Structures are given as C-alpha cells and as structure tokens.
Amino acid sequence: LVIGQSLLAWYEDDSVWHEMVLTYPVTERRWSILTPDSDHYVVDLTPGGREVKHLIPLSDDASLPSGLRNKVYRFQEYPDEATFRKLVREGRKMAADQVGESNVLYPE
C-alpha cells in the first residue's frame, strides 16, 4: 500500500465495491482515505477485519480488474495534484492525531 494508490474495498454489509484513494498511513494497515464523495477519514484496511472484508489494489491507471461481479462506486474525477498534496497533509495530521507525532510513519 502506498500514498496515492487506488483500491476497491468490499464491506460486509454492502452490495457494491467502493473505490478509495490512500492519502496517508496511520499504521501498517490503518490509512487515511479519500472516497468518491470527498469524505476523508481513517479506516482499517485489514482484509477480513472489522471494517473491510476484501481489498483489490487497482493498477496505476485505476482500471477495473476483469471479472468483478458487482457494481463499483467510483470516482467521477480524481483530485488534481494541488488538491491531493493538501489531502496528504491532512492525512498526515489525522495520523499524528491518532498515534502521536513521534509515531507517524513518515516524519516531516
């Protein structure tokens, strides 16, 4: 998992895949994410965990893998570079708020 990577997540109580973009790691498996609705929050991405049941990393061009059997809730438009840099800074602040500044994975 890397900053800027797009993923599909399957939640147990849903009937569609959800696209998300990773904005900053909080821990190895907890990340701040951006949703297609422009929500920005921290989620546990452990497959089979409490929040996400399955994860599919997307290729660099964010094309969907063949063979998906359910609909996908996707971005209509991805954030531009300046907006994404701002989101990364916000994600870093979320990480520091959750684990403490000295425990942030990528210090400033």
Q: Among all chains, which residue has been given the structure tokens 């660099």?
A: 60
Q: What is the pLDDT of residues 72-97, one digit of tens each?
A: 999 999 999 999 999 999 999 999 99
CB-based contacts of 12, cutoff 8 Å, min separation 6 = 53
On the question of pLDDT at 106 being above 80, the answer is no
Q: How far apart are CA 108 and CA 96, in angstroms?
A: 11
Q: Angle at Cα 38 formed by Cα 33 and Cα 54, nearest 5°? A: 40
Report the pLDDT value the prediction gives residue 88, as an integer from 0 to 100. Answer: 96
pLDDT digits (tens, 9 = 90+) for 46-63: 988 888 999 999 998 889
In degrees rounded to 5, what are phi and psi of residue 21? -120, 130
Give the DSSP H/E element, type plus range, for residue 34. Answer: strand 30-34
Provide the pLDDT for residue 107: 61
